[in-house]
Amino acid sequence: MQLPEVFLNSLEGTPGFDRTAFLLAHQVPSTYVSVRINPFKQPGTKLVFPNFSHITFENVPWSKYGYYLSERPSFTFDPFFHAGLYYVQEASSMFLEQALTQLADLSQPLKILDLSAAPGGKATHIQSLISNDSLLVANEVIKSRCAVLTDNIIKWGSGNVVITNNDPSAFKNLTGYFDVIVVDAPCSGSGLFRKDKEAINEWSLNNVSLCSQRQQRILADVMPALKDDGIMIYSTCSYSKEEDEAIGEWLVQEFEFKSETLKIPSTWGIVESKSKHSTGYRFYPDKLKGEGFFLSCFRKQTTERETKFKPVSVEKASATEKDLIRPWLRNGALELIREDGNLTAVSTALLENYLQLKPVLKIFYKGTVIGQVMKNKLVPHHALAVSTLLLENAPSVEVAYEEAIKFLQRQELQIQPPTQGWQIVRYKNQGLGWINALPNRINNYYPKEMRILKQSL
Ligand code: SAM
């Protein structure tokens, strides 16, 4: 792997940069594979990986849910991957957990914005850490990337999320709304050179400078939406000071932000980078098991007044619709609303926020879509099959590994369901999706766009 001289020279003097060790680490492609488990589906923090019994695990030091795997399995052919039991995520990125747990009171109902959320690594991580009555707004400006973000959020199964498709400037109108804003900024991407050689050809000093300007624009656009005393978490996967420390210095000097520090053991290998007004945390692949990453945290010091919104109204489900849905849902403080023909379950706390956000933002998805009522019957949506709202003893059929893969490939199934009608296909008790068993055939309702395309390993 040949790294541009101009790139290496630009990193000289950067805290923690050791040219020889850095070059050595870049002579081999990244071999670390890490996953973060879904606490809603794998209770506790222990990784259960039944199809890969030969693989050994090791904890990612800075995340209670993160594990390194001894080798990369075929995630595509693991039904647990499709059931949302874990998310494959680069280990350094999981450091977000330290910022959230050390700086925010996660036991409280918080409003959190993940501004650049696709494909959903940080958003699903945030979901795992916040309380049930908290709200996560997962935003993605590029519409085509909202679909993969939504798929990943649906798979995660917890419904306290609103997915939006807005430019950062749209959040200006939500003055003082969020307790925490996470800006995982688009960047020049040098931290991922070991994973993506193509990125090396796209790197230039000019691009670093353009990215730095864009990062400032994004932060300036979104900062009014943070409450007084709220936390701004800023991260990139770039090693360049212009996109990392310089942004922190700018935030503290130009705006009313105070830099926050985190407590981290020196054994983790993370470099604490102290500038004149701010502190950031650097990840180098020659110092720890992870790729290049940077994170810094700030507390807002203004007296921003929270905007008072006039909430819009929404149609609630009728008594008949509620009766049709009841056999599928766990009891809880849920509201059932009807929009665009879909019935959606939202927590009471989420509904209030949703009705405030609706007139301001472009909402792509929210809560848990339950399905549509047609001819007095519920046609269930995929989101319900993988949701934590689904009743444990809802009609379902347990399948063996081969049938589970066939189901995920959207093929015909050779199974004998115990009853007719809509039911969940489960593999080792984990919901994968829906079938409708008719007297003469079984219809496979696994979403077409999510199906496994490969025929075999
Ligand atoms: N947070 C994501 C995760 O953990 O899976 C990764 C986010 S990625 C580093 C940066 C994101 O910024 C991309 O999804 C990209 O589409 C989005 N983006 C690109 N231009 C942007 C802009 N001008 N404002 C905000 N986000 C932007």
Q: Is 117 in the pocket of ligand 1 (CB under 6 A)?
A: yes
Atom of ligand 1 nearest to the CA of 237: 9
Any ligand 1 atom below 6 A from CB of 184: yes
Cα 336 versus chain centre, distance: 25
Q: What's the pLDDT score for residue 215?
A: 98
**Cα(108)–Cα(94) distance, integer angstroms:** 22
* 35 phi, psi to nearest 5 deg: -130, 160
Q: Which string of DSSP letters, residue by residue, matches 225-283?
A: GEEEEEEEEEEES---GGGTHHHHHHHHHHSSEEEE-----GGG-PEEEE-SS-EEEEE
Nearest to 122 by CA among 73, 180, 69, 177: 180
Q: Do the beta carbons of residue 366 and residue 346 sit within 8 Å?
A: yes
- Could you give the C-alpha distances from 257 to 113, 226, 301, 393, 429, in angstroms and in order? 18, 11, 6, 50, 48
Cβ 140 under 6 angstroms from ligand 1: yes
- Between the CA of 390 and the centroid of ligand 1 the distance, in Å, is 31
| CB 122 less than 6 A from any atom of ligand 1 | yes
Q: Please name the residue whose Cα sits nearest to atom 14 of ligand 1.
A: 118
| pLDDT score for 49 | 74
| CB of residue 165 inside a 6 A radius of ligand 1 | no
DSSP per residue over 345-382, as a string?
Answer: EEEHHHHHHHHHHTTTS-EEEESEEEEEEETTEEEE-H
Does the beta carbon of 189 lie inside 6 Å of ligand 1? no
Sign for the pseudo-dihedral over CA of 188, 76, 36, 121: positive
Going from the Cα of 183 to the center of ligand 1, the distance in angstroms, rounded, reads 8
Helix or strand (DSSP H, E) at 7: helix 5-11
Strands in 396-398's sheet, in edge-to-edge order, are: 396-398, 421-427, 430-437, 442-444
Strands 226-236, 271-274: parallel, antiparallel or unpaired by DSSP? Answer: unpaired
**What atom in ligand 1 is closest to the CA of residue 142?**
16
CB 115 within 8 A of CB 181: yes
| Cβ atoms within 10 Å, residue 164 | 23
The one-letter amino acid at 181:
I
E strand or H helix that includes residue 100: helix 96-103
Question: Which sign, positive or negative, has the C-alpha torsion 347, 353, 359, 365?
Answer: negative
Contact, 336 vs 325, CB < 8 A?
A: yes
Contact predicate 350/160, CB 8 Å: yes
Confidence at residue 318, expressed as pLDDT on a 0 to 100 scale: 93
* Closest ligand 1 atom to 93 CA: 4
pLDDT of residue 304: 64
Are 63 and 270 a contacting pair, CB within 8 Å? Answer: no
Q: How far apart are CA 390 and CA 360, in angstroms?
A: 31
Output Rg (C-alpha) for the chain, integer angstroms. Answer: 23
Q: How far apart are CA 137 and CA 126, in angstroms?
A: 10
Tell me what pLDDT residue 53 has: 82
pLDDT digits (tens, 9 = 90+) for 404-415: 999 999 999 999
* DSSP H/E element including 432: strand 430-437
Query: What local confidence, expressed as pLDDT, does residue 189 receive?
Result: 95
Segments of the chain with pLDDT less than 70: 44-45, 304, 457
